[in-house]
Amino acid sequence: MNIPAIPAERLPELLRAMPKAELHIHIEGSLEPELIFALAERNGVALPYASVEELRRAYAFTNLQSFLDIYYAGASVLLKEQDFHDMAWAYLQRAAQDGVVRAEIFFDPQTHTARGVPMATVIAGLHRACQAARAQLGVDAELILCFLRHLSEEEAFETLEQALPWRDKFIGVGLDSSELGHPPEKFARVFARCRELGLHCVAHAGEEGPPAYVWSALDVLKVERIDHGVQSAKDPALMARLAQDRIPLTVCPLSNQKLCVFSDLRQHNLRQLLDAGLMATVNSDDPAYFGGYLGENFSQTFAALGLDCGHAYRLARNSLEASFASPEAKRAWIERLDAVFERFAAGG
């Protein structure tokens, strides 16, 4: 559609109201310090922090690894099916308030199975929250199982085997954790197997790692979306490829700021990616650790970069088109998106 003129002062309201998809959210990264402490008490798990405040004070990250160390420690309080449900339900309620109509949620089963939590417990709790979100919140939520890239490909294969009895409860696989030194090609065979199984494939690439990792995620793993991908801007040929093939990038501005990928939100390259014709989207990554859920990612990034209603429409539409939902569902959400923009243009 032609984007109608909407007064700039209504932009914050529009950003929240417009229907959108969140495509890059690690559910373990939505675990708020208050819930970490509540679950630790419920499960009798000892934490190396005396209080919620002390834990929050530790959220001063210098790079991805400094965050991951705390993130995996936080996840250690998750033991029971109800814990996984409660974590996902808390996220989904927040997502609904931010205008999310579709959430494709990453989970890291190896973080839990390594502690003796059965795969069935993890998936059942998360899946129950997704079902409740559809029924009670109008949020269409699906799960994406992520392999931890600092572990071996053999361990990824074992994880896939353990999850296959619940094949109908996740729509795809991803690749996350420490990027540098763990290139996508390390997981070539397990991703080939996942493709044979008809699973959607995505991978973190170009968060801290070089453009070469984005190339190999595309050409070796044959992923459908790149998670982060902001380092692609260093390689003009890669930028042309991403634009030409309309490969979605799930960009996470507040995460990039917190993990020092960009020194400041004003230095973020989201506008550059959009101007180059890339199918960029905005996402929250690990909102409990990075200072904001999806709504905050939109509002703070728009303020820092001076983005406008045209960018808002583009980003919301990209997110819906880049989702793995059915063509009919996407069409219906895009009609709702257009209706919201028309209502705002008419002053409603």
Please give the residue ranges that form the binding site for ligand ADE (CB under 6 A). 26, 29, 64, 71, 176-177, 204, 207, 255, 285-286
Cβ proximity to ligand ADE: between 27 and 340 the closer is 27
Side chain identity, residue 77: V
Q: Which is nearer to ligand ADE, 149 or 317 (CB)?
A: 149
Partner whose binding site includes residue 207, from Zn ion, ligand ADE, none (CB under 5 to 8 Å by kind): ligand ADE
Q: How far is the CB of 91 from Zn ion (least distance, A)?
A: 14
342 part of the active site: no
Piece of 8-16, 52-60, 280-288, 336-344 that binds Zn ion (CB under 5 A) = 280-288
Catalytic residue (one of 32, 81, 207, 208): 207
Closest CB to ligand ADE belongs to which residue? Answer: 176
Toward ligand ADE, which CB reaches closer, 55 or 203? Answer: 203
Out of ligand ADE, Zn ion, none, which partner does residue 29 contact, by CB within 5 to 8 A per kind?
A: ligand ADE
Q: Which of 285, 302, 341, 344 binds Zn ion (CB under 5 A)?
A: 285
Q: How far is the CB of 314 from ligand ADE (least distance, A)?
A: 23
CB of 298 to Zn ion, least distance (A): 17
- Asked if 156 and 190 count as a contact pair (C-beta separation under 8 A), the reply is yes
Instruction: Write down the least CB distance from residue 63 to ligand ADE, Å.
Output: 11
Q: How far apart are CA 112 and CA 298, in angstroms?
A: 31
Identify the helix (H) or strand (E) that includes residue 204. strand 200-205
Give the Å distances, CA to CA, from 265 to 272, 301, 303, 305, 334. Answer: 13, 7, 9, 8, 29
State the helix-helix crossing angle for 153-163 and 119-132, rounded to 10 degrees. 60
Q: Which does 22 bind (CB under 5 to 8 A by kind): Zn ion, ligand ADE, none?
A: none
Least Å from the CB of residue 227 to Zn ion: 5
Helices assigned H by DSSP within the chain: 11-17, 33-43, 52-57, 64-74, 81-97, 109-113, 119-132, 153-163, 188-196, 211-219, 236-244, 253-258, 270-275, 287-290, 294-305, 309-322, 327-345
Taking the chain, what is the end-to-end CA distance rounded to the nearest angstrom?
Answer: 19
- Cα separation of 118 and 178, whole Å? 24
Choose the contact partner of 83 out of Zn ion, ligand ADE, none; CB within 5 to 8 A by kind.
Answer: none
Cα 145 to Cα 170: distance, rounded to the nearest angstrom:
7
Catalytic residues: 207
Interacting residue ranges for Zn ion, rule: CB under 5 A = 285
